[in-house]
Chain A
């Protein structure tokens, strides 16, 4: 074997390894389907990842405590799949004539549900109540659950969306829940979940149940108790009195560690050289920790 042949083999191996690395490196970010958590925590043990492909759907359930869809699929092991990032589209008349029924299409980790107009998604409605927990933090508690059906594309849809838009996968938010009877149509739609939520908000002047149930309200200091007879601290104390309140509809991540890796995009006032940080795409300097 000449030096030349060994060299060629070496090049082939290096290229193959390089190709593998770049392929997996690019694919990693896309497959992050995760459960939503927040005020009402109803995480299921249902898998949240599914391989790309096309699966016939047996049953679909939507839970408005966390906006999670649970799908029971055929030709998939395990048969159940849960996601909060589900796009939906209506099957075209041609598809239905060809005998297609409701199916789930997964492309690059993004699930889209193609459904017939008659298809009913089971809708689990959570009747909630706001209570104060031991830490003085308001939290939403589920009192009971009611079950109903939701058909996103049934009934009078004319005027809500331009016809052809229905056949493209988009995010949908269910309309306001009415106890008894099934719900049809949708409260908001959009090319992103956030857009669907903001459309719902514009229509009903309040966030959808899935978002509202996850809102967290916090308060501290003198606002913690409703009592007004607060004593003045001695002036020798290292801290003065104070109050704080805050409300959030952001979900929190499932990570247990609170240490964030440096992001390079932070900004703020501060004396540390802001010019250096600017070169990383940020525009400021103050960083804690």
Chain B
């Protein structure tokens, strides 16, 4: 009712949504390279909106290519008719996503010289994508806890960039890089909403 009224009034519809994708398998670690390269490019341009959009497209395309490793997923979101409320929710989601991993890591402690040369390879990678866009995209505004819907949603995320509908984009991933591990216990503890696909 409220929705229809705002639509008739010609107000701008803002949607903020977050997508969790959990990849499992011994061959998922290379995606960390892609994610880190994307984040470096974004940081080099201080978060320029066109660059961050391009990098989101790249991440989505790479995720779509390894859909055999998708293990579980979750999503959530909300519709707003006020830009301020959408901005608040977007910031809230950033903070929430960031507290699911060590967002303030220890840079100072000295490394152990006796560390083995081999590095552990993580079996789990979680990617969290949050976007805010104007307009309506039915592919994203549904329950995405099944494979088909998730594939469609990632394609919709790519298309949104070329429709220039994005107002805000954020990407989080855990673990941070090759050699770090996200264990099954950590996964259960910090990402309780994940639903197996």
Would you call B173 and A244 a contact (CB within 8 A)?
yes
Residues of B in contact, count (CB < 8 Å): 83
Is B177's CB within 8 Å of the partner chain A?
A: yes
Which residues of chain B are within 8 angstroms of A225 by Cβ–Cβ distance? Answer: 107
Which residues of chain B are within 8 angstroms of A255 by Cβ–Cβ distance? Answer: 84, 88
Which residues of chain A are within 8 angstroms of B159 by Cβ–Cβ distance? Answer: none
Q: Which of B105, B186, B189 has the most CB of A within 10 A?
A: B105
B47 contact from A215, A220, A221, A254, Cβ within 8 A = A215
Would you call B143 and A284 a contact (CB within 8 A)?
yes
Would you call A265 and B3 a contact (CB within 8 A)?
yes
Would you call A231 and B111 a contact (CB within 8 A)?
yes
A220 contact from B73, B74, B98, Cβ within 8 A = B98
Which residues of chain B are within 8 angstroms of A227 by Cβ–Cβ distance? Answer: 107
Would you call A269 and B88 a contact (CB within 8 A)?
no
Would you call B105 and A244 a contact (CB within 8 A)?
no
- Identify which of residues 196-233 in chain A touch chain B, using a CB-to-CB cut-off of 8 Å: 198, 201-202, 205-207, 215, 217-225, 227, 229-233
- Which residue on chain B has the smallest CB distance to residue A207? B49
Would you call A246 and B171 a contact (CB within 8 A)?
yes
Would you call A267 and B107 a contact (CB within 8 A)?
no
Given contacts A194-B134, A263-B79, A269-B145, contact A231 B88 (CB under 8 A): no
- Bound-state Cα–Cα, A249 to B90, Å: 11
Which residues of chain B are within 8 angstroms of A75 by Cβ–Cβ distance? Answer: none
CB distance from A36 to the nearest CB of B (A): 9
B164 contact from A198, A219, A221, A230, Cβ within 8 A = A198
Is A130's CB within 8 Å of the partner chain B?
A: yes
Would you call B109 and A243 a contact (CB within 8 A)?
no
Which residues of chain B are within 8 angstroms of A219 by Cβ–Cβ distance? Answer: 39, 43
CB distance from B13 to the nearest CB of A (A): 10
CB distance from A60 to the nearest CB of B (A): 24
CB distance from B112 to the nearest CB of A (A): 9
Which residues of chain A are within 8 angstroms of B89 by Cβ–Cβ distance? Answer: 260
- Bound-state Cα–Cα, A170 to B154, Å: 36
Which residues of chain B are within 8 angstroms of A252 by Cβ–Cβ distance? Answer: 84, 87-88, 91
Which residues of chain B are within 8 angstroms of A58 by Cβ–Cβ distance? Answer: none
- Bound-state Cα–Cα, A221 to B94, Å: 12
Would you call B180 and A232 a contact (CB within 8 A)?
yes
- Which residue on chain A has the smallest CB distance to residue B134? A194
Is A48's CB within 8 Å of the partner chain B?
A: no
Would you call B180 and A245 a contact (CB within 8 A)?
no
Q: List 25 A-B contacts (CB under 8 A).
A: A231-B105, A231-B107, A232-B179, A233-B105, A240-B180, A240-B183, A241-B176, A242-B100, A243-B101, A244-B103, A247-B47, A248-B91, A250-B86, A253-B87, A255-B88, A258-B88, A267-B141, A267-B142, A268-B143, A271-B195, A284-B143, A285-B143, A286-B75, A286-B193, A288-B96
Binding site for A on B (CB under 8 A): 1-3, 10, 12, 14, 17, 35-36, 39, 42-43, 46-50, 52, 73-80, 82-92, 94, 96-98, 100-107, 109, 111, 122, 128, 130, 132, 134, 141-145, 164, 167-177, 179-183, 186, 189-190, 193, 195
Closest 9 CB pairs of A and B: A246-B170, A242-B101, A253-B84, A217-B47, A242-B174, A268-B76, A247-B47, A244-B172, A248-B168
